[in-house]
A and B are shown apart, each in its own frame.
Chain A
Amino acid sequence: MHALAERYENEIINFDRDKEVERICETMRNIMRSKLRRRGVVVAVSGGIDSSVSAALAVTAFGAKKAFFIQLPEVDSAEDTQSRGSQLIEHLGVEHTTHNIAATLDAIGCYDARDEAIIKTFPEYTDGWKNKIVIKGGLNGQVNHFMLVVQDPHGQMHEKRLDLREYLQIVAATNYKQRIRKSIEYYHADRLNYAVIGTPNRLEYDQGFFVKNGDGSADLKPIAHLYKTQVYALAKHLGLPESICNAIPTTDTYSLPQGQDEFYFALPYQEMDKALWAHNVGASASDLASMLKISEEQAKFVFQDIDNKRKTTHYLHAKPYLIDSIPELGL
């Protein structure tokens, strides 16, 4: 085996699961004790792998009685993700509620604003059509740009490059979904004096794949240091239902099925994990090329894409900038 691939196998694939779960749970309890001072945790459960593992870790750390789960579907949520969320809740035996946010999103203009931008690109788009956004460019050394893919009621797919204004409007409108969800999570957290758990994995967190003040907002993010491959490994280790352990990651935000690699990442997550890890340990493009069986030029573009996304999304991580520091608050 290639030396880099062997190192990845040893460090990332074959990590000590028991030890990691113990370390995460102890750190979560420490943070709650010393920093957050809340008496339990709220987790929004989507049915995806990340929120499922975060939810299971929260229950392991604090117990089922100190957790509250929420399902927050809307009209574009896939039925299978909702059903996986329900299976998880039943499996972990945690008190929960379901709040369908479709009416709120409709009232705030989320769907109208999104459809207005889609119609500028596809004037024939109407009820019964489905949509998604697909990213292009990163693997070819091009500037990342975005295609709108729509499906007509006969099942025919159509694709066009999105003009910037329409792209920004569609993303801004769909970001309402994550921001409304977060408001509801904090409603329950405030009501119960609980903390909110954020559920990004390392790939999402590092590459800025989250909505500021939406899913990016939380008090504690227990798996932000773990590569997605490791999150899947923990799901199995924690004995989560098979349907969750085998779930294919989607954004669950657009009406057409949309893989995360279609929307945001240059490569599927298994390869993105390897690329991000290789970049973090200072591997060369030629080493990554052998590891992923892609050309050296493509490997170089993948590294560039990682760096570009870090730069572009840095402000999503940043606290608001102040003109002067406020040392009394440590800010």
Chain B
Amino acid sequence: MSSEAKIRNYILENYLFTDDESALDSADSFLDKGILDSTGILEVIYFLEDEFEIKVEDTEMVPENLDSVNNIVSFIERKRQ
């Protein structure tokens, strides 16, 4: 499964309680759309660290890295380089 699919599934299953793919656009801002609050973002960080075996540093905990599926996919790709 691609990184994007894993992240999308995680959000759909845990925060939107659906398997309807159309419920989430990969560009949707989690915070602006009210999908996640700040505790939800911490949950996502916990998931990313566990699933992708990365360490998210304090300075990386910014919306540009974490606030949409697309942002997370790019962030993980940068972390893996």
Contacts and interface: CB of A to CB of B under 8 A. Distances in A.
Interface of A: 136-137, 141-145, 161, 163-165, 167, 308-309, 311-312
Nearest to B49: A163
B1 interface: no
A135 B34 CA distance: 22
A214 B42 CA distance: 24
A145 B42 CA distance: 7
Given A311-B34, A311-B37, A312-B37, A142 B61 contact: yes
Interface string B38-58: 110111011000000000001
B58 A161 contact: yes
B73 interface: no
Contacts of B31: 308, 311
27 contacts: A136-B58, A137-B58, A137-B61, A141-B63, A142-B58, A142-B59, A142-B61, A142-B62, A143-B38, A143-B41, A143-B61, A143-B62, A143-B63, A145-B42, A145-B61, A161-B58, A163-B46, A164-B42, A164-B43, A164-B45, A164-B46, A165-B46, A167-B42, A308-B37, A311-B31, A312-B38, A312-B39
Given A143-B45, A145-B58, A164-B42, 12 more contacts: A137-B61, A141-B62, A142-B59, A143-B62, A145-B61, A164-B45, A165-B46, A308-B31, A311-B31, A311-B37, A312-B37, A312-B39
A136 B59 CA distance: 10
Contacts of B62: 141-143
B35 to A, nearest CB: 11
A175 to B, nearest CB: 14
Nearest to B37: A312
Interface residues of B, number: 16
A308 B46 contact: no
B72 interface: no
Q: Is the interface of B mostly helix, strand, loop or mixed?
A: helix
Q: Which of A163, A164, A165, A309 has the most CB of B within 10 A?
A: A164
A142 B63 CA distance: 7
Contacts of A163: 46
Contacts of A136: 58
Interface in B17-47: 31, 34, 37-39, 41-43, 45-46
Given A136-B58, A311-B34, A312-B37, A143 B42 contact: yes
7 pairs of A and B residues whose beta carbons are closest in the complex: A312-B37, A164-B46, A143-B61, A142-B61, A143-B41, A164-B42, A312-B38
Nearest to B40: A312
A311 B36 CA distance: 9
A308 B40 CA distance: 12
B2 to A, nearest CB: 25
B17 to A, nearest CB: 15
A142 B42 CA distance: 11
A165 B46 CA distance: 9
B44 to A, nearest CB: 9
B66 interface: yes
Contacts of A141: 62-63
Nearest to A305: B38
A170 to B, nearest CB: 14
B57 to A, nearest CB: 9
Contacts of B43: 164
Contact of B66 (A143, A161, A164, A309): A143
Nearest to A310: B37
A312 B41 CA distance: 11
